[in-house]
Every structure is written in C-alpha cells, then in structure tokens.
A and B are shown apart, each in its own frame.
Chain A
C-alpha cells in the first residue's frame, strides 16, 4: 500500500510538474516572443514617435520663426525689432539644431531650410533699411515658395517614416501570426497528451482511492470499537481508582489513629522509664538503708553481747551477793538475836540477790533470745539486702528495657508518620489516576466520535470516487463495542482487537 501511495504521489507530482512545466514552457515561450514583438513594436514606435516628434517640432519651429519674421515686419520700435529678430534667429537656430540632432532626417530638409533662411534674411535686410515694400514682396512671393518646399520635404519624410512603420508592422504581424499558429498547434498536441495522461492517472487514482476507502472504512470501525472498549476500561479503572482512594482514606485515618496511639505509647514508655529510674533509685536507697540496718543490727548484737556479759556479771554479782547474804545469815544466826535483824536484812539481800539472779537470768534469756533474733534479723536483712540488690539489678534492666521501648516507640512513631505520608501520596496518586482514567474515558469517547466522523468521511470519499460495490457505512452502535463485564479477563481480551486493528491498519498502509 505504501508503494501504491508513493506511486500515486509520484504520479500526481509528475502530472503537476509536467503540467506546470508545459504551461511554463508555453507561457515562457509566448512571453518571450511577445516581449520580443513588444520590444520591436516599442522600438518602431519609439523611432516613429521620435521621427514624428522631430517633424512636428521642426514644423512648429519653422512656423514660429516665420511668425516671428512677420511680427518683426509690423514692429516700428527698434528695441522691439531687435528683440523680435533675435527671437527669429534663435528659432531658426533651434530648427537647424533639431535637423542636426535627428539622424534620420534627409539632407534635403536641411537644404530647403537653408534656402528659406536665406530668403528670410533678405526680407530682414530690406526691412531694416526701410524697404518695407520690397520686404513684403519677398514675404508674399519667395518666402511662401521656400516655406512650401520645406514643408513638402518634411511631409515626404513623415510619409516615408509612416510607410516604413506600416511595412515593418505588417511583416511583424505576419511573423507573429505564424508563430501563434505554431504555438496553437503545440498547445493542442500537449493538451491532448496531458489529457490522455490525466485520464489514465484519474483511473488509477480512483481505483487506489476506492481500495483505500475500503480499508479506511474497516479501520475506522475497528478504531471505534477499540475506542469504546478503551472508554469502558477507563471508566472501570476510574471507578476502581475511586474505591481505592476511599480505602486509602480509611487507611490513612487508621494510620493517623495508630500514629497517635504510638505517640501515646512512646510517651508512656518515657514516663515508665522515669518511674523505673525512680524505682531504681528507691531500691538503691532501700539497699543502702538495709545495709545500715544490717550494721545497726550487728551493733545491737554486739550491744546485746555486752549486755549479756554485764548481766552475767550481775548474775555473778547476785550469786556472790546470795553467797554473801547466805554467809551473813549464817553469821547473823550465829550472832543470835543480835544478828536477828541482820539475819532479816541478809534474807532480804539474799532474796534480792535471788531475784536479781532470776531477773538477770531472765534478762540473759531475753538477751540471748534477742541476740538470736538479732542474728536471725541480720540474716534476714542480709537476704533482704541481696534481694534488694537483685531488685535494683532487675529495675536497671527494666529501666534499660523501658528506654529501649521508648526509643522503639519513637522510631515506630516516625515510621508510622512516614507510612502516613506515603499513604497520602498514594492517595493523591490514586486520585490522579482516577482523574486520568476519567479523562482517558472522555478521550476514548472523543476518539470514538472521531472514528465515526472518519467513517462518514470515508463514506463521502467512497461516494466521491464512485464506489459502486456495497459499502458498509453503518453507524457503529455503542452496545456493539461495550464489553459484557469489566473483568480482568475481559480487559485482557478487549485490548487485542485494538492491537490487531493497529497492525492491520498500518500493514495496509
């Protein structure tokens, strides 16, 4: 088809170039010939006009000179006579100069002018010496003869020029007519050749255009169908994009909520970290206090040991006091009644010593129990101290973990923000995609309309080239090209006709 199109273009170009070239050749030839004829005519006309002008100027000058001479004869004032004669002589000089400057003027005219000038001078001479009658006589006899002879010579020259012009014009006309006949014959032959070539070219062009219109008709239908499918797909794509956009909006809202929760978590982690740090500090303080308590309990044990030693000493003192009281009683007994009061005191001291011993024993028991309790408390406090150390260590680990949790929450918050931003961008892109899909759908509708217009144009083209075989200029129904469902499978299949259409169309070209 491309070869055919190139051939058509080549033929058309060749035809046009040939027509223009022939027209230019004929026009140029005719123009050249006409210019030549025109130039010859102009030259002849210029020559004739120059010759005629020369004769007219010569006649006018001579008549002016003769009038000046006649006027001179009527003047009496010498000043005026002098001026008039000067004018007469100047006029005659002009006439002689005109004859000298006009190459074609025959010598006889100059001779006749000289004769007239000579007679005129005689008239002037006679007039100037007062022989007016003689001057008038010459003016009435000889001057007219000379003047007539001169004018006859000029007329003869004018007639000669006219005759020569007429002969030249006739010869030129004959040549031009012969040329025009040849040009007419050449134009006729060339016109017939061009007509034959044009007819042949017309037939081949019409056939090619008919084939082209068929292919265009098919292609326009397929383009319309493809456009319809593209329109439907675009509308579905726009709808899906809109839904996606709304989902993204919801996602974005959820992400916003998650972002705020993450922020709250991060803030809680920070607060927990601070609390853990406080707990750690409190545990450290508790451990220190516990150590101090352990030390105090050690001191209490030491004091209890000292008290036990004192009480033992008191017990020993009570024992010895009791021995002494016993010895006193014995002595008091021995002393009889004199010793009876002493014996009573000894008994009282002995009772006191016994109570003291009892009290010291009870105190010693208490103190031992206290020492035992103190030992137990020391052990317990040691264990509490160990436990508090473990607690402090655990709290430190908790603090570190909470700090890591806080850092992770911050990073998580940033990540959520980035996700939120990305989702917003995706939402915008989705909206743009939806808008583009709608525009694509509209463009596809326009494409379909243009395809229908193309089909109308193809119909016109077909009518223009006189396509007689059945041409399907049916309008493309919209439901013919709308796919039944916008499933991906359908989309996949709906693209194929378009591709095949393109392939066909360009292959046809």
Chain B
C-alpha cells in the first residue's frame, strides 16, 4: 500500500534532482550552441510570418479590450483557464504559434513594442517584459539568448531565445521561445 505515495513522490524528487543538475551547467557545449543557433534561425522565420507581424502591429496601434488596464498583479492573479488568458492562445498569432508546437518547444510568447503580451502558447509569468533583456535586446534588432535554467513544470533544462519581430526592417515587437535542451 506504500506504492501510490511512492508514485507521487518519485517524479517530484526527479524534478528537483534535474533542476540541481542543470543549474550547474552555465555554458553550452559548442555542439549544443550550434543546435540553438539553428533554432534561432527557425524562430526568426516564425517572427517574419504575416500573422505575427500583423498581430504585433495591430497591438501596437491599439490595445484590445482588457489589455490597457492590465497590471502585473492582476495578470498574476488570473488563472491560466481565464477567458482573457485563453484569448491570447486563440487569436491568429496564438493559432500560428500552435502550429509550430514541437517536442523541443517548451514555451513561446509574442510581445508588442512595449513588452505587453500579444499571443502565447502558455501563460507567461509576467504581463510585460519591458526592461528585460529578452525583450529589450530584440527591440534593438538583435537576437537574445538566455542562460540555461530549469523548467519548473518539467524539471528539465531549458533556455530562452528571443528574436525581433520586424516590419519594414524595423523591430516592432519580440518573439521569445523556450528550448528544451535535451530534446534539440
């Protein structure tokens, strides 16, 4: 009768051990880095899709209802199943991101010029990423690559990359994507 409790405890323990293991690896191996850069090129192509560009441009032009008065506290209190949160996954940009779901893709979200969320696959922790490198760097037209960290949900090592969403050669937003290093 001890088996059920063990069944529950064992994955959690594995998650913790995996997080501890990945935190010790700060630098990527060259081979791993090459794979990441290949994905960067792929994600840039996603960011150049009209569905993404048009959604970001429209969000920059006018915020949808409920987005203007959204604060970080309010965003944090919203359930992932809240209709407002679900709407980010059901707009054209969200639908496009869903078509790109693949095993190594842990997360993806699109921000407008101010770092406010336009679309995502899963609810990110922050409503605005303005002031953070994962948004500020792409807004300069460059690509950003974050450090390796542990995914809280899966306990697996991942890193984030961010690319600019360009319109007419000018950055109008950013696309941040989480990569599962073990599945690249």
Q: What is the interface of chain A, defined by CB distance below 8 A to chain B?
A: 59, 62-63, 66-67, 70, 73-79, 81-82, 85, 125, 127-130, 132-133, 136, 139-140, 143-144, 147-148, 151-152, 154-155
Min CB–CB distance A268 → chain B (angstroms): 139
A340 to B152, CA, bound (A): 237
Query: Does B154 sit within 8 A of A, measured CB to CB?
Result: yes
Query: CA A133 – CA B16 in complex, angstroms?
Result: 11
Within 8 Å of chain A (Cβ to Cβ): is B5?
A: yes
Q: Are A78 and B89 closer than 8 Å at their CB atoms? A: yes
Would you call B79 and A128 a contact (CB within 8 A)? yes
Decide if A139 touches B76 in the complex (CB within 8 Å): no
Q: Once bound together, how far apart are the Cα atoms of A148 and B7, in whole Å?
A: 12
In the complex, the chain B residue whose C-beta lies closest to that of A62 is B4
Closest chain A residue, CB of each to CB of B94: A78
Q: Which residues of A contact B106 (CB under 8 A)?
A: 76
Contacts known (A74-B153, A76-B122); A130 close to B5, Cβ less than 8 A: no
Contacts of A79 in B (CB 8 A): 89
Residues of B within 8 A of A66 (CB): 4, 7-8
Return chain B residues, CB-CB under 8 Å to A148.
5
Partner of B107, one of A74, A76, A128, A129: A76
Contact call A74/B4, Cβ cutoff below 8 A: no
> Does B12 belong to the interface (CB within 8 Å)?
yes
Contact with A along B70-98 (1 / 0, CB 8 A): 00000011111100011001000000000
> How far apart are the CA atoms of A127 and B123 in the complex, in Å?
11
Q: Are B9 and A140 in contact (CB under 8 A)?
A: yes
**Quick one: closest A residue to B101, CB to CB?**
A77
Taking a contact as CB atoms under 8 Å apart, the answer to whether A128 and B81 are in contact is yes
Quick check: B153 and A143 within 8 Å, CB to CB? no
Residues of A within 8 A of B175 (CB): none
- The reply to whether A78 and B152 contact each other, CB–CB distance below 8 Å, is no
* Cα separation A74 to B122 with both chains bound (whole Å): 12
Chain B window 1-17, contacts with chain A (Cβ cutoff 8 Å), 1 for yes, 0 for no = 10011011101100100
Task: Count A/B pairs, Cβ under 8 Å.
Answer: 74
Which residue on B lies nearest to A82, using beta carbons?
A: B81
| Contacting pair B4 A81 (CB below 8 A) | no
B65 at the A interface (CB under 8 A)? no
Asked if residues B8 and A129 are in contact (CB atoms below 8 Å), the reply is no
Is B62 on the interface with A (CB-CB < 8 A)?
no
Other-chain contact of A81, B1, B81, B107, B152 (Cβ < 8 Å): B81
Chain A to chain B: the 4 pairs with minimum beta-carbon distance, closest first: A76-B122, A128-B79, A63-B4, A132-B152
Instruction: Give the CA-CA distance A105 to B4 in the complex, in Å.
Output: 20
Contact across chains for A67 and B7 when beta carbons are under 8 A apart: yes
Asked whether A70 lies within 8 Å of B4 as measured between CB atoms, the reply is no
Option from A76, A132, A147 in Cβ contact (under 8 Å) with B8: A147
Residues of B within 8 A of A (CB-CB), count: 28
**A62: chain B residues within 8 A (beta carbon):** 4
Most buried by B among A79, A85, A132: A79
On whether the beta carbons of A74 and B9 are closer than 8 Å, the reply is no
C-alpha gap A74/B14 in the complex (Å) = 13
Q: Provide the residues of chain A in CB contact with B179, threshold 8 Å.
A: none
A77 to chain B, nearest CB (A): 6
Q: How far is the CB of A195 from chain B (nearest CB, A)?
A: 59
Given A74-B153, A78-B80, A143-B8; 12 other pairs, CB 8 A cutoff: A66-B8, A70-B11, A76-B107, A78-B81, A82-B81, A85-B81, A125-B79, A130-B80, A130-B125, A132-B152, A144-B9, A147-B8
Contact of B4 among A77, A127, A151 (CB under 8 A): A151
CB distance from B137 to the nearest CB of A (A): 24
Please give, as numbers and ranges, the residues of chain A lying within 8 Å of B121 by CB-CB distance: 76-77
- In angstroms, Cα B76 to Cα A259, docked, is 149
Query: Contacting B76 at CB < 8 Å: which of A81, A129, A152, A154?
Result: A129
A130 & B4 in contact (Cβ 8 Å cutoff): no
**B150-179 residues at the A interface, CB under 8 angstroms:** 152-154
How close is A201's CB to chain B, nearest CB, in angstroms? Answer: 67
User: Would you give the shortest CB distance from A254 to chain B, in whole angstroms?
Assistant: 125
- Cα separation A63 to B11 with both chains bound (whole Å): 14
Contacts of A140 in B (CB 8 A): 9, 12
Q: How far is the CA of A263 from the CA of B121 in the complex (A)?
A: 142
Contact A151 B1 (CB under 8 A): yes
Inter-chain contact A78/B154, CB cutoff 8 Å: no
Closest to A143 in B: B8
Q: What are 9 A-B contacts defined by CB distance under 8 Å?
A: A66-B4, A76-B153, A77-B101, A78-B89, A81-B80, A140-B9, A144-B8, A147-B8, A155-B1
What residue of chain B has the Cβ atom nearest to residue A79's Cβ? B89
Distance in angstroms from B76 CB to nearest chain A CB is 6
Q: Bound complex: CA of A66 vs CA of B152, how far in Å?
A: 19
On whether the beta carbons of B86 and A78 are closer than 8 Å, the reply is yes
Q: How far is the CB of A158 from chain B (nearest CB, A)?
A: 9
Q: How far is the CA of A75 from the CA of B125 in the complex (A)?
A: 15
Question: CB-nearest residue of chain A relative to B7?
Answer: A63
B89 & A136 in contact (Cβ 8 Å cutoff): no
Q: Which residues of B contact A136 (CB under 8 A)?
A: 12, 15, 152
**With A and B bound together, what is the CA distance between A473 and B139 in angstroms?**
134
Complex CA–CA separation, A130 to B26 (angstroms): 26
CB distance from B153 to the nearest CB of A (A): 5
Query: Using Cβ atoms and an 8 Å threshold, which residues of chain B touch A154?
Result: 1
Cα A139 to Cα B80 with chains together (Å): 19
| Complexed CA–CA distance, A70 and B7 (Å) | 10
With a CB–CB cut-off of 8 A, which chain B residues contact A130?
A: 76, 80, 123, 125
Contact between B153 and A147, CB atoms less than 8 A apart: no
CB contacts (< 8 Å) of A75 on chain B: these are 153
B105 to chain A, nearest CB (A): 10
In the bound complex, do residue B80 and residue A128 qualify as a contact, i.e. CB atoms below 8 Å apart? yes
Contacts of B78 in A (CB 8 A): 129
Closest to B9 in A: A144
Contact in complex: B1, A129 (CB < 8 Å): no
Question: CB-CB contacts of B108-152 with A at 8 A, as 1s and 0s?
Answer: 000000000000011101000000000000000000000000001
Report chain A residues within 8 Å CB of B9: 140, 144
Among B85, B122, B154, chain A packs the most CB atoms within 10 A around the CB of B122
Of A66, A67, A130, A147, chain B has the most CB atoms within 10 Å of the CB of A130
User: Which residues of B7-57 are within 8 A (CB) of A?
Assistant: 7-9, 11-12, 15
